[in-house]
Amino acid sequence: MKKKKYREFIGSSWAIDNNTSVYVLTVLIILVGIMSYRSIPKEQMPEVVIPTIMVATVYPGTSPKDIENLVTRPLEKQIKSISGVKKISSNSIQDFSSVVVEFETDVDVKDAKDKVRDAVDKAKSDLPNDLLTDPQVREIDLSEIPIMTINISGDYDLETLKKYAEIIQDKIEALPEITRVDIIGALDREIQINVDLNKMKAAGLTFTDIERAVMAENATIAAGSITQNGMNSSISVKGQFLEISDLYSIILTTPTGGQIYLKDIAEIKNGFKEQESYARFNGSNVVLLNVIKKTGQNLLNASDQITEILAELQQTTLPEDIKLDKTGDQSRYTRNTLEELNNTIIIGFILVFIILMFFMGVSNAFFVAAAVPLSMMVAYIVIPGLGFTMNMMVMFAFIFSLGIIVDDAIVVIENTYRMHKIIPDIRKAAKVAAGEVFYPILSGTLTTLAPFFPLAFWPGIVGQFMHYMPVTIIVALFASLIVAYLINPVFAVNFMRDEKNDVPKRITWKFILKYASWLLIPATLFHLAKVPAMGNVLIIAFLIVVFHKLWTAKAVYKFQHDLWPRIVHRYERIIAWTLKGRHPYRIMWGTFGLFLITIVLFGMSGTKVIFFPDNDPNQINVLVKMPPGTDVLVTDSVAHLVEKRVNSAIGANNPDVESVITKVASGADPNSFDRAVSPEKAMVTVNFIESKYRLTATTPYMDKIRESIGEIPGALITVEKNRMGPPTGKPINIEMYSEDIDMLISDADRFMQFINDAGIGGIQELKSDFQEAKPEIIIELDRAKANAEGVTTYTIGMAMRTAIYGKEISKFKVLEDEYPIMLRFSEEYRENLDNILNMNITFRDMASGRVKDVPVASLVHVKYTSSYGGIRRVDNKRAITISSEVLNGYNANEIIQQIKSASRDFQFSPGTTFQFTGEQENQKESMAFLSKAMIISLGLIFFVLITQFNSTGKTLIILSEIILSLIGVLLGIMIFGMPISIIMTGIGLIALGGIVVRNGILIVEFSDKLIAEGLKTRQAIAKAAATRLTPVILTATATILGLIPLAVGLNINFETLLTHWDPQIYFGGDNVAFWGPLSWTIVFGLSFATFLTMVFVPAMYLIHRAMKMRLKRRMNRRRLNHRISAAHS
């Protein structure tokens, strides 16, 4: 045997020699970590920021085709040359062009806006000269979704409810976390001057005459100031209207010099604007507030402050009979998600601690398990500097890291325990133990992190959503290295005990009284002080101590002295058999054969493939879209019918339903980034209570709602649910392109009918986004007649707009409120085109200088037509999108494959092309990236291993574990009938690659060390495997147990347990649906990889050594033969 040479790690040696500094550092980490955690903004899911800029251009009197050619195309021409642009989409409708520019996610929003503004400036020379205003460039924040709705109801009219809504709006908008609050369903007061056309014509008056008269009377004019008796006094002439009746007596002068009162030719009303939007809460009319949060702000803080504001207003400002109902409060789901994940961390920590306790004893398990909270505290300190919020991705990263974090501490402490038997001085033993395993642990940690480095650079929408997870894992695992090498060795020196020889003693009354005085008396005092949580913690601690003394200590002693030694002995016999004769080769070929068989069986199993895991909805949205031009009252009547059928589907007084909210015209399209009112749209939203309180699953309600609604003539109905994950688009989304718009419309209609006739199951309802023709009356100016009279298009257009829509000509002030004074025709005239055309246009004859009146009809031609509602373009090509949701129980990928197969028999017109976008496009991008990420991560792991071992053979042995661990993953998926999630299973496979090699490194590295010390190869491998059995089983079990609670959806509410003795234990929830596939992938793969580490790796190492020795002997024989030949010659 060669003499052993011990090496130390300088960081651990310094920490052991300066333990006081380490303890102070530990306390600081805990305190700063807790403060940092409390200050981090909380949200359920990461906010995905997609740099999106919109260019909006108004060009009145222009058809969609002309808008496209004159405005949209010139803008697109300049914008397409901008670098970093991912997609350009536009919509050209009557009088309006919108161009939406989506940039790559790594482009700064401000830079994107500046680039688009520069491109618009370049395009101005190609735009029409008579645009009323320049194109407007603005940023679109796609994360601007309501975090809650506040429903205001009571025995009051809508005007009064709006006043109260505005009070609440002002208070909430003052919060720094809130962007804005939108009011829906309110009435806006206005003073109406409804003119009688016949009386106005008879008097020879025009709208301009009335406008001038009103403005001249409703005014306050500062006349200046004078000095009287040495005092300077200002003079003002006040003529503002104080009463509506002041308008009645306004005098109008006719062309003949006569005078009449305004009330003689018009009806003056204190009324309301035509209601533009409607809102209902559980069937009752309400005024509704949509609360929009700023990106990156703390959702929970915002919600708590809003709750306080509402409570304060109800006590101090609002009448007692005003009712405020919060619905769709996202903070409830966020709080529930974060609570579940926090509780999962605690459950995982407890399970990890229990397994550590059985292997290492109670005291040793405590300071090994302490690596988990300490590493998390370090991560909490770092996370705010990265600009992260505390969301489900960050929380899962901690759960994922739970078992891995203790890996480093386990190896360090276990090696310290082993070295202490050799070196009696615990300080020296701890230094040597840390130094001996430093490079293997560093290498293992780097290989674990290797898959997450490429994942941190995941591009696109999905990448931005997932980015939080790999970065947090990287931070947490680097933190675990700091804890393992600076803090754990100090704990080991001061607290590590050899508990294996501690024979459990019988529990005595003295023992019970001792711990009762330490724990139960303070617990009683805490309860008397009304701090029950702390009291209950002490009671639970007492029960744990007693339970440990009665049972756990005996179980641990029996495990350490009986069960585990027998397992180790059995394993030593297995490994001895494994390394004997031809057995290593049989194990190698048997494992490779099992891999091939598993691949074949999996290919035959028909396992479903999905993009993101599906979840039970917290909300179901029923979207209603009527034909363009539909009056808002018609849309509201249809929404009433839909609402009634939805209530019938979910049932009366359903305990799972929180509320049913209806929005008409405003806030009725969750997929729209435009705040414009859409009279043809409505949305009925069913909000469910939190998943842990539900009696049944909510997904079946979607089918019930679809069946109950059925078909409504003229209405397009879509039933959607909220999805966990990034916004990826519809599962079925087909974009069709052609420059011939008529041919494109025809192909889209034929293709939809073709797919429907193909009988492909699972498609909810294919819908086209083509904006149907809207009835239109074109008033064309007769240029010759108009020029002869000196009348412009603007003059006629504004006169007709005033007659129909109305014109605000002044303001009516009541205290601090202002109401518009609107001038227009009476309803019986403005709804009749002939009356409008008979209206006189007053102008001055440029030849004679006389004022003349000419009917509009004598200067214009009227055309009845219909035009395209709008023309969409995508990346400079005319486009129509066909989309649909997928029915429950069907797989989107399978449906897409059937559509692709069927489309081969469809004859498109020349020039028409199509592609699958939306979820399919994001899925394709994600699959391509994950494939690259897997290759890069394998390359990084290979580099780390080759650097450590300087051996290709040893590196390939360890890398083979990654490939062969697929056996466990695929068998697990097939046995339990689980689907494969491209994203979550893909990430799990990549992450698994870094985890499984850690223990293989320990086996190979320790075998090398023993061989270097002089042991024979088989003896060294067997001893290395047996010596590393405990840390290998410990680390693998800790990682698996850390993920099991999330994989099975086990939830225990520790807060209610400590405060009310109510653990609220349940299985399921939103998190298990989302994270289950990833967790099970790692559990299945790591379970099988443990077998590979303990059996396959030793066998392969022996084969590698045998081949190396055989090659070496062959080379030596060649050299010897060469020397003999040289000597003979």
Instruction: Provide, rounded to the nearest whole percent, the portion of the chain with pLDDT above 70.
Output: 96
For residues 533 and 78, what is the distance between their CA atoms, to the nearest angstrom?
64
Residue 179 has pLDDT above 70, yes or no: yes
Average pLDDT over residues 817-838: 85
CB atoms within 10 A of CB 786: 19
Burial class (CB in 10 A: 0-12, 13-18, 19+), 233: exposed
728 DSSP assignment: -
CB atoms within 10 A of CB 876: 16
Nearest to 342 by CA among 1049, 1054, 1040, 1048: 1054
Q: Are 373 and 487 in contact (CB under 8 A)?
A: no
Neighbouring-strand partners of residue 327: 149
What is residue 1030's predicted lDDT score, i.e. its pLDDT?
Answer: 84
Residue 156 has pLDDT above 50, yes or no: yes
Find the range with the poorest average confidence among 70-79, 151-160, 292-301, 1080-1089.
292-301
For residues 933 and 913, what is the distance between their CA atoms, to the nearest angstrom?
32
State the virtual CA torsion across 649, 652, 653, 654 in degrees, nearest 10. -20
pTM exceeds 0.85 = no
Neighbouring-strand partners of residue 768: 882
Instruction: Provide, rounded to the nearest whole percent, the portion of the chain with pLDDT above 90.
Output: 23
Amino acid letter, 821? I
Alpha helices in 623-767 (DSSP H): 632-650, 700-709, 741-757
Amino acid letter, 1083? V
Q: Are strands 840-844 and 913-916 parallel, antiparallel or unpaired?
A: unpaired
Q: Are 816 and 822 in contact (CB under 8 A)?
A: no
CB atoms within 10 A of CB 353: 20
For residues 131 and 135, what is the distance between their CA atoms, to the nearest angstrom?
9
Residue 955 has pLDDT above 80, yes or no: yes
Residue 677 has pLDDT above 90, yes or no: no
Please tell me which residue, 361 or 52, carries the higher pLDDT value.
52
What is residue 773's predicted lDDT score, i.e. its pLDDT?
Answer: 66
Q: How many residues does the chain have?
A: 1129
Show the tokens assigned to 343: 């509780």
Burial class (CB in 10 A: 0-12, 13-18, 19+), 709: buried
816 DSSP assignment: T
Provide the CA 719 distance to its chain's centre, in angstroms.
20
Q: Are 559 and 585 in contact (CB under 8 A)?
A: no
35-86 pLDDT, tens digit per residue, is: 999 888 888 888 777 888 999 998 877 778 889 999 999 999 999 999 989 9
Burial class (CB in 10 A: 0-12, 13-18, 19+), 572: middle
Burial class (CB in 10 A: 0-12, 13-18, 19+), 61: middle
Residue 776 has pLDDT above 80, yes or no: no
The helix, strand and coil proportions of the chain, stated in percent and rounded to the nearest 5, come to 55, 20, 25
Q: Are 496 and 420 in contact (CB under 8 A)?
A: yes
Please report where in the chains the tokens 């086209």 appear, as a residue: 768
What is residue 722's predicted lDDT score, i.e. its pLDDT?
Answer: 81
Long-range contacts of 345-350 (CB under 8 A, 24+ apart): 345/395, 345/398, 345/399, 345/402, 346/1052, 346/1054, 347/1045, 347/1050, 347/1052, 348/399, 348/402, 348/403, 348/1041, 348/1042, 348/1043, 348/1044, 348/1045, 348/1046, 349/373, 349/402, 349/1042
Average pLDDT over residues 322-338: 86
626-639 pLDDT, tens digit per residue, is: 887 788 899 999 99
Residue 229 has pLDDT above 90, yes or no: no
What is residue 1's predicted lDDT score, i.e. its pLDDT?
Answer: 43
Q: What are phi and psi of 353, to 5 degrees?
A: -60, -40
pLDDT range class, residue 849, cuts 50, 70, 90 = low
Find the range with the poorest average confidence among 123-132, 235-244, 569-578.
235-244
Q: What angle do CA 917, 922, 924 make, to 5 degrees?
A: 90
Please report where in the chains the tokens 């083979």 appear, as a residue: 960
Alpha helices in 289-370 (DSSP H): 299-316, 330-360, 362-369
pLDDT range class, residue 1025, cuts 50, 70, 90 = confident
421-478 pLDDT, tens digit per residue, is: 788 888 888 888 888 888 878 877 888 888 899 999 988 888 888 889 999 999 998 8
What is residue 674's predicted lDDT score, i.e. its pLDDT?
Answer: 58
> What residues contact 587, with CB distance under 8 A and at least 6 apart?
578, 1095, 1096, 1099
Please tell me which residue, 71 or 518, carries the higher pLDDT value.
71
For residues 869 and 332, what is the distance between their CA atoms, to the nearest angstrom?
41
Show the tokens assigned to 180: 């804005």
Q: Are 235 and 224 in contact (CB under 8 A)?
A: yes
CB atoms within 10 A of CB 745: 18
Q: What are phi and psi of 781, to 5 degrees?
A: -75, 135
Domains by residue range for the chain, with CATH: 10-39+333-497+579-610+923-1113 (1.20.1640.10), 52-140 (3.30.70.1430), 189-221+234-276+774-867 (3.30.2090.10), 504-578 (no CATH), 618-722 (3.30.70.1430)
Residue 113 has pLDDT above 80, yes or no: yes
- Burial pattern 387-403, b for ≥16 Cβ within 10 A else e, equals ebbbbbbbbbbbbbbbb
What is residue 750's predicted lDDT score, i.e. its pLDDT?
Answer: 92
Report the chain's C-alpha Rg in angstroms: 38
Average pLDDT over residues 288-310: 88
Nearest to 955 by CA among 933, 968, 940, 934: 940
What is residue 502's predicted lDDT score, i.e. its pLDDT?
Answer: 61
What is residue 995's predicted lDDT score, i.e. its pLDDT?
Answer: 83
What is residue 70's predicted lDDT score, i.e. its pLDDT?
Answer: 92
Going 1121 to 1122 to 1126 to 1129, the CA torsion angle's sign is positive
Residue 1129 has pLDDT above 80, yes or no: no
Residue 295 has pLDDT above 90, yes or no: no
182 DSSP assignment: E
Alpha helices in 423-508 (DSSP H): 426-449, 452-455, 460-466, 468-482, 488-495
Average pLDDT over residues 534-549: 83
For residues 793 and 809, what is the distance between their CA atoms, to the nearest angstrom?
21
